[in-house]
Every structure is written in structure tokens, then in C-alpha cells.
Amino acid sequence: MHIPIPWRRRGAVLFTLGAVLCGPAAPATALSSAAASPPPAVPAASPSSPAARAEDGGAAASVSPLACRLGEKLTALRGADLETAFLAGIVAHDEVAVDMARLELDRGTDSALRARAQTLLTAHQRQVEQFTGWLRQWYAMTPAQALARLSPDVRTTLAALEQEVQRLLSGLRGTGKGTGFDRAYADMMIPLHTSGLIQFLEPQARAVHAELRSAAATGATGQESEIADFSAWLSGHGAHAATVPGTAASAPVTLPKGAADTGEGAAPVSPGPLVAAGCALAAAGAGVGTLLLRRRRRAARD
């Protein structure tokens, strides 16, 4: 199986950039021992009170093990099975992104985030229509029918991932209007986009229809860009905590708040934003890199 060179590089680039951002500031947050730990599985985003964690300076983990599991299962699918599994899953993913964008437009106060939410709302609605139309045109199925025809293990994984993102959405719905909502929205979009990025990997390389390969490649690039943009926004808006890959504990580590949060003037510049953005990118790169390595090993066995 041929793995396009750009995708091998993207995981490495994300991980390296994250490591560069995390590295200099990590000792200041008492996380330097993480480097000596063997790399475990990337922890999942906690479904409990994501909005409350965001308001308190918490952040969701960037990579869901369920998304990685789905990505691995997609590597075993071929032809129509791959296309229908991907389309059924990504439509559900886009619908959650649409709901989150609507909530940001209704409750958010940051003008830049609101503008981004409007752009994402339009883009994901268009993608839902396009992918649903292809399912109907190529396979005479709705997303629900496509999901019902999948193998039990793929269907179970997709259902579990859908439940996970719905819990993120539920947490966001429980957050009140204001700057806390803006932070919660940006925070939750990172694991959501990372999940989408992982789902796009296989169809961009192996979909039967050329138009789906092209759309998946475009979609993956968009998800990658959104991960970086939301991480950058969070890095510039006060305290942000991250679950750091390589640590034994899965609980987020709250980083110190700077003057932007406290409004108390000449507080020293906090390394927290750089660590948070770096860890988000590193986690995304690690997840993508792991999937690509498994693909290569599977190809070697075949």
C-alpha cells in the first residue's frame, strides 16, 4: 500500500512543532519528568464538565483513543466498504461541528471566534450536503443506512465515537454566554478537528472515487489548519491546561494565569499558553503518526 509522503510528514511536523513549543516552558510547570516516561496511549478527552474545565483554565486532551481506533479500522476496509464507513462517520462529525458553531454564534462574545464559527458553519453544512449526496448517488443509502450495513466492530466504534463527541456538545450546551463560552468552544474544537483529521487519512489515499479522494485531502488540510488556529487563539487568551502526552496521569495540569486573566498589571509572562498550544499539536502529531506507522506495518504483512 502506498502512503503519500505529505501525510508521513504531517504527523512529524505537528509533533515536532508541539515539542518545540512545549520544551522550553515545560520545566517551569514541573512536567520535565514526562520526557523520561515511556510513551503510553494518548489519553482521551474527558467527557465530564468540559465547559467547566475550560472556564477554570482546563483543556480537553487533543486525541481520542476512539478516533485512533476508528482510523485503524478504516485501514482494513477497501472500496465501497471504506467509502460508506467514512461517509457515515464524517457526516455525523460535521453535524456536531455545525451545532457547536451555532452555539458559538449564539453565546460567544469574541469577534474573531464568532467569525470563524460562521465560516465553519457554512463549510460543514456544505460538506454534509455533499457527502450525503454522494452516499445517495453512489450507493443509494442514507448515512443511517450506511451505518447499519457496516461490520459490527466498525459500527460499534463509530457509535462510541459519536457518543463521545455528543458528550462534548452537551458540555458546551451547559456553558453560559460570555468569555467562558468562547474558551470552551475553542477548547472542544481541537479534539473534534483532530478526530476529523484522523478519519480523513484513509479516503484521501484510497477512496475509489477521485472526487472523494480530493475532498478528503482538502478536508484533512482544513482540519489541520483549524487545530493550529484554535490552539493559537487559546494561547493568546489566558490560562490553558493540557493533558501532556507522556505523563502517567490523565488529569489536566492547570498552568499559571498571567496578567491577561487577572488584570493585575505587571505579572510575569506565563509559559502556559505556549505549553498548551504545543501539547495540542504534539498530541495530534503523535496520534496521526501512530496511525501511519500501523498502516505501514499492516501493508508489510499483506
| Residues belonging to the chain | 302
Q: Once rounded to an integer, what is the mean pLDDT over residues 79-106?
A: 96
CA nearest neighbour of 244 among 215, 196, 282, 202: 282
Lowest-pLDDT range of 27-31, 137-141, 272-276: 27-31
What pLDDT score was predicted for residue 36?
34
How distant is the alpha carbon of residue 295 from its chain centre? 20
* pLDDT tens profile 216-259: 999 999 999 999 999 999 998 864 433 323 333 333 323 223 32
Question: Please, which pLDDT band fits residue 100 given cuts at 50, 70 and 90?
Answer: very high
Q: What is the DSSP letter of 244?
A: -
CB atoms within 10 A of CB 125: 15
* pLDDT tens profile 63-86: 789 999 999 999 999 999 999 999
Distance linking the first and last C-alpha atoms of the chain: 9
Helical pair 210-235 and 272-301, crossing angle rounded to 10 deg: 150
> Which residues touch 109 (CB under 8 Å, ≥6 apart)?
177, 178, 179, 181, 182
What's the CA gap between 101 and 95, in Å, rounded?
10
Query: What is the overall mean pLDDT for the chain?
Result: 72
> Which residues touch 146 (CB under 8 Å, ≥6 apart)?
84, 85, 87, 88, 135, 139
- pLDDT reading at 297 higher than 80: no
Question: In the numeric block, which cell numbers belong to residue 28?
Answer: 517551569
Q: Once rounded to an integer, what is the mean pLDDT over residues 158-165?
A: 93
CA nearest neighbour of 130 among 138, 81, 149, 150: 138
